[in-house]
């Protein structure tokens, strides 16, 4: 078939690649002048299947109230008269039960584990270079209360056979030697040795370059204005460069998906949750992280990407707000300097950045068909777009191609929100 893919972030580009590999004729559209220039540009760099957990979890409402008043708050809420925000928050709170959390996490881990394996296979097949590493993720606990709270997550890891290590402070320093300088700051950690790291922007650009050789029609700098629905089908996509037509249409436009689909009568519960990052050059390799560390107290990830350190995190509900408040940068620097003092060049530009993560109320992405017969979705990955990209691309390609999917698809279909 001729498949028109809307969006050239990591989700759209991986989808285009898998569709082309499956033999489809692919057209890729994006308003930006190149790939991965928005949410995929400077994310935290972690590929963490074991930490694929829903934000909507038991106890989160209470924790959220406490986070709002922290100096370096992991959650920032900018109240506004936004019906979409209110509906999203209400739906998310409805998922903060033991039963919903267990169901959503089981779906996420199954796709994330498959996605990690697909990424490794794709990297080896194409010899992709993107500052990747395979030295695991360390979740660092600053209090014994955090260690106790990790018991539930460990039980889930055990049930899915995900390798893990529970570490004391010496074990944490063994995994991340740079932590020796901040030993008094933490009491233990949980390490997942199977996790990976990598620069999502570099990966997406590497793969996008291969798309041209795969005869994919790439149209950057093309603004997507609307999709035209005629009865039970999409007849075309209106852009500032004319109408683009195909046999099937795949929407991978992240946080902008709801506005694009609403005129076609499809409501998608995706809301932008803003995240921030800084990227600094390594000043002292012996003091720097070797892989990804998750600072549990501040919900911040610190990742080594070659000769750089990427620090990313926080969740801000403020609509489509692209501002870069100095206080957010200060929080990222605090976590880095508190745990890895002297690791980064503090005098260098931090390349302070923000991106709008497309979140669903249950944190599970929407990957599958829609009530419109030739319209498909691959969106709503939240903080896990990089982790889930290859698995989601493979899954949607199987569904568009009418083949047996590699993972159970029901939990990712938009139908769960239409019942």
- Tell me how far apart the alpha carbons of residues 250 and 400 are, in angstroms, rounded to a whole number: 9
Give first-to-last CA distance, the chain, whole Å.
30
- Tell me how far apart the alpha carbons of residues 210 and 291 are, in angstroms, rounded to a whole number: 27
Annotated binding site: 3-17
Burial of 347 from C-beta contacts in 10 A (0-12 / 13-18 / 19+): exposed
Bridge partners (DSSP) listed for residue 243: 238
Annotated binding site for FAD: 3-17
- Tell me how far apart the alpha carbons of residues 396 and 393 are, in angstroms, rounded to a whole number: 5
Beta strands at 242-244 and 25-29: parallel, antiparallel or unpaired: unpaired
Overall size of the chain counted in residues: 419
Long-range contacts of 323-332 (CB under 8 A, 24+ apart): 323/354, 324/276, 324/352, 324/353, 324/354, 328/76, 328/276, 328/352, 328/354, 329/276, 329/278, 330/72, 331/72, 331/73, 331/276, 331/298, 331/300, 332/276, 332/277, 332/278, 332/300
């Amino acid at each position: 078939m001729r498949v028109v893919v809307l969006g050239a972030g990591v989700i759209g580009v991986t989808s285009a690649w898998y569709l082309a590999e499956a033999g489809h004729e692919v057209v890729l559209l994006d308003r930006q002048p190149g790939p991965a220039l928005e949410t995929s540009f400077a994310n935290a760099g972690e590929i963490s299947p074991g930490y694929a957990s829903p934000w909507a979890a038991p106890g989160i409402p209470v924790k959220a109230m406490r986070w709002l008043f922290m100096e370096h708050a992991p959650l920032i809420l900018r109240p506004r008269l936004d019906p979409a925000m209110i509906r999203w928050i209400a739906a998310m709170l409805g998922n903060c039960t033991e039963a919903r959390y267990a169901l959503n996490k089981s779906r996420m881990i199954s796709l994330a584990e498959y996605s990690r394996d697909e990424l490794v296979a794709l990297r080896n097949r194409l010899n992709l270079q993107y500052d990747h590493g395979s030295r695991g993720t360390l979740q660092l606990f600053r209090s014994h209360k955090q260690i106790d709270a990790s018991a539930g997550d460990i039980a889930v890891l055990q049930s899915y056979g995900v390798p893990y290590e529970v570490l004391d402070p010496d074990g944490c320093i063994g995994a991340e030697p740079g932590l020796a300088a901040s030993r008094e700051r933490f009491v233990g950690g949980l390490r997942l040795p199977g996790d990976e790291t990598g620069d999502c922007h570099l990966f997406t650009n590497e793969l996008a370059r291969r798309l041209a050789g795969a005869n994919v029609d790439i149209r950057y700098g093309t603004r997507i204005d609307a999709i035209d629905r005629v009865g039970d089908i999409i007849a075309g996509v209106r852009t500032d460069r004319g109408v683009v037509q195909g046999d099937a249409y795949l929407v991978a436009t992240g946080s902008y998906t709801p506005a694009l689909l609403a005129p076609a009568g499809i409501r998608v519960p995706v809301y932008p949750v803003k995240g921030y990052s800084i990227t600094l050059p390594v000043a002292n390799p012996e003091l720097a992280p070797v892989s990804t560390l998750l600072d549990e107290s501040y919900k911040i990830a610190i990742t080594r990407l070659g000769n750089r350190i990427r620090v990313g995190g926080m969740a801000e509900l403020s609509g489509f707000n692209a501002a870069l408040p100095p206080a957010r940068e200060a929080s990222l620097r605090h976590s880095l300097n508190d745990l890895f003092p002297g690791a980064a060049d503090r005098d260098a530009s931090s390349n302070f950045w923000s991106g709008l993560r497309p979140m669903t109320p249950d944190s599970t992405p929407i990957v599958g068909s829609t009530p419109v017969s030739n319209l498909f979705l691959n969106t709503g990955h939240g903080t896990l777009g990089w982790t889930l990209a290859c698995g989601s691309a493979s899954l949607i390609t199987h569904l568009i191609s009418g083949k047996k999917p590699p993972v159970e698809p029901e939990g990712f279909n938009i139908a769960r929100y239409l019942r």
